[in-house]
Amino acid sequence: MQHPETGFLPGPRHTLPGAPGGPLAGLTFAAKDLFDVAGVPTIGGNPDWGRTHPVPSAHAWAVQRLLDGGAKLVGKTITCEISLGILGYNQFYGTPPNPAAPGCLPGGSSSGSASVVAAGLADVALGTDSGGSVRVPASLCGLYGLRPTHGRISIAGLLAQAPTFDTVGWFTRDAATFGRVAAVMFGEALPAASAAGVLLAEDAFALADPEVSAALQPAAERLGAQFGGLTRMTLGEPGELETWAGQRNILQRAESWATFRPWIEKENPTFAYNIARNLAGGSAITAEQVAVAKVVRRQVVDHARRLLEGGAILCLPTTPFPAPPLGLPLPEIDALQARIGITTSFAGLCGLPQLNLPLGKVGGKPCGLSIIGWRGSDERLVAIAHDLAWSGLGVARTERWG
């Protein structure tokens, strides 16, 4: 498979002007090829999907929102097949480059969106995050990237995957731009940065590569120092993060299968082997497995509420490792994907906002620190990111947002 030179879809670039005079005037944005753009096929990273679905006649909500805000659409970006895949591979369109770690995977499934922002080809890019598809490429490409509170941002016009997990997020290179977009997406001015303390999940840090864990400690300590003090704690009982990941996996894969089953059974589409294998795994999940996983989810949500509803934020490594090299064999890919699932499942299960801060480097490659707040704390997380950047730790423009 030849890999593409950029994260944009091959062929003519679809561009649309933003509304004049909006708050995002001067910014360019790209949209993952799961978002409808009127008149342009939504291919979803899988040629058979594109071939068997009508060309959309309206923009997705998020695309329209950014256009209305004044940002200019500069293209659609490669996604992993029908949003499935966390490392960024696509066997049909190729794997977008990781400009922050040449020769390495960009992360996925919002691979092309992260790639074009990291390359400076767009200021902003829309992604989706069901199982980590914004957070992971943000970490591996060194970007700010938010998985919002589940249900905060409309998924209208999106090639959806798993209803209780699907969210719409975005990437930027700097915190100030991130804040400008957040104000438009959420439709309200951003609050002052504040938190009732910072919880550092030692069990999550222990699951990361030691170099990643070490690289993220200074940022976590700075975060604690600025926001009410750092408390080192364990998020779960021993082994529990892995258990949560397994149950999140059951729920998400069962939902994905339910979403895609009618199409698959009608069309028998072509997929990369591991994508089809994982869908087939979803088809084999039993109602009892789902029922158990839902009980686990309720328990984890209660636990999260106790920890975070009072205003604390939780920090943990977004990914346990920096960008892996291209060309790994499938068993290694599977093992890496399983490890990523452990750090992404807590927010996913609980519908919590999680923001990647591009504050670590290991061997020259980015690795991100995540902050997680209670439901609805999205803007506060964005404000915290900006404050950290402003205070010199992060990657910021020198102006605050207006």
Interface contacts to its own copies, rule CB under 8 A: 48, 89, 91-92, 264-266, 268-277, 279-281, 283, 329-331, 333
Residue with tokens 């200019």: 72
CB of 121 to its own copies, least distance (A): 27
Question: Burial level of 294, CB count in 10 A (0-12/13-18/19+)?
Answer: middle
CB of 308 to its own copies, least distance (A): 38
Give the C-alpha separation, 196 to 226, whole Å.
10
φ and ψ at residue 401, rounded to 5 degrees: -75, 160
Give the C-alpha separation, 255 to 47, whole Å.
22
Q: What ranges in 9-166 are assigned the alpha helix state H?
A: 47-51, 61-68, 111-118, 135-141
CB of 275 to its own copies, least distance (A): 8
CB of 94 to its own copies, least distance (A): 13
Strand partners, 76: 31
Give the C-alpha separation, 380 to 376, whole Å.
9
51: tokens are 């071939």
Q: Which is nearer to its own copies, 263 or 390 (CB)?
A: 263
How does DSSP classify residue 81? G
CB of 331 to its own copies, least distance (A): 6
CA end-to-end distance (rounded Å), the chain? 45
Active site annotation includes 370 = no
Task: Answer for the pair 29, 69: CB distance below 8 angstroms, yes or no.
Answer: no
Active site annotation includes 32 = yes
Q: Which is nearer to its own copies, 87 or 101 (CB)?
A: 87
Spell out the residues 6+ positions from residue 152 whose beta carbon is closer than 8 angstroms to its own.
167, 186, 353, 376, 378
Q: Which is nearer to its own copies, 51 or 232 (CB)?
A: 51
Q: Which is nearer to its own copies, 156 or 276 (CB)?
A: 276
Q: Which is nearer to its own copies, 272 or 347 (CB)?
A: 272
CB of 33 to its own copies, least distance (A): 18
Q: Which is nearer to its own copies, 87 or 314 (CB)?
A: 87
Q: Which of 109, 130, 139, 213 does the annotation list as catalytic?
A: 109
Give the C-alpha separation, 89 to 67, whole Å.
29
CB of 269 to its own copies, least distance (A): 6
DSSP-based three-state secondary structure for 202: helix
Active site annotation includes 283 = no
Give the C-alpha separation, 360 to 215, whole Å.
5
229: tokens are 């003090």
* Residue/partner pairs of 51-56 with CB below 8 Å, 24 or more apart: 52/263, 52/267, 52/269, 56/157
Q: Which is nearer to its own copies, 265 or 288 (CB)?
A: 265
Enzyme catalytic residues: 32, 109, 133
